[in-house]
Amino acid sequence: MADKITVAEWRAYIADPNWVGTQYIDDSAITVGGMEIDDDSDDDVLSKLDQSAQVRILAGVVEDEADRNYCVSLRTHFRNWRESRSHRTIVALVKVEDADRIIALIEGAGGKIQ
């Protein structure tokens, strides 16, 4: 079963300073909304896409410059990253008349609206 990943969550993953350091993604292939994206780590490209669009990891590995024996599939690395987080990124489509109430609920629960 494919992971349900949004563009917003993918952007958070590739920018997370907790793992980026000496680790890097190699030989990756992803699709966004069924279309293959060539530059899947370029935030300028990703920021222009629908943030709620579905990302599918087709291929790739994460390697570490400091530990040449470290090589994990991109899908596994993403899942481990997601499980280690203390929060989740969500993208919601709501009715205009409900937006203020939902924003207040999210902020009241300690969430951040971007």
How does pLDDT run across 50-72, given as a tens digit for each residue? 898 999 999 999 999 999 999 99
pLDDT at 1: 46
Domain count, the chain: 1
Query: Quick check: is 44 in a domain?
Result: yes
Are 75 and 3 in contact, with CB atoms under 8 Å apart? yes
Query: Quick check: is 113 in a domain?
Result: no
pLDDT at 75: 94
Residue segments in the chain with a per-residue pLDDT below the cut of 70: 1-2
Query: Quick check: is 114 in a domain?
Result: no
Count of CB atoms situated within 10 Å of the CB of 73: 13
Query: Quick check: is 47 in a domain?
Result: yes
Query: Quick check: is 101 in a domain?
Result: yes
Domain span at residue 52 reads: 5-108
pLDDT at 72: 95
